[in-house]
Every structure is written in C-alpha cells, then in structure tokens.
C-alpha cells in the first residue's frame, strides 16, 4: 500500500542549483583572467576594495 500527495500548498519555494552557480563563477573567473592578461593585474578590482577599508584604497594602479 502506498500514498502519494501533491500540490497541497502553493509552490513558492525556489531551490538554488549549486552546480549552475559554480559554472557561472567559473565563467566569470575565466573572463576576469582574460581581462587581467590583456590589461594587467590591476585592471579590474572588487568595488569594496575602493573604500577606505579596502586594500586598493589610495593605491595607484
């Protein structure tokens, strides 16, 4: 004997696909590598690095 239930409540939840996120991150990393190899290591930075607490603040690049 078995019992199956479905659609008892409205489906509003979203499950994040960690594999898709990982693939996107790899694509972003590859793009960053291309930019840095062409324009130099200091050509692209995280925005937080441009704040007073950031590593690059006040540094010339």
Specify the pLDDT at position 20: 75
Nearest to 45 by CA among 53, 37, 56: 56
Residue 45, pLDDT score: 79
CB distance 35 to 44 below 8 Å: yes
The predicted pLDDT at position 56 comes to 57
For 2-60, what is each residue's pLDDT tens digit? 777 776 777 677 677 777 777 888 888 999 999 999 999 888 877 777 777 666 555 55
Listed residue (44, 37, 38) closest to 61, CA to CA: 44
38/33 Cα distance (integer angstroms): 9
Tokens of 14: 């979203």
């Amino acid at each position: 004997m078995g019992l199956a239930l479905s659609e008892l409540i409205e489906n509003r939840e979203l499950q994040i696909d960690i594999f898709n996120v990982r693939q996107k991150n790899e694509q972003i990393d590859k793009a960053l590598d291309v930019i840095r190899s062409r324009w130099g290591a200091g050509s692209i930075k995280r925005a937080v690095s441009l704040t007073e607490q950031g590593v690059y603040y006040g540094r010339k690049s």
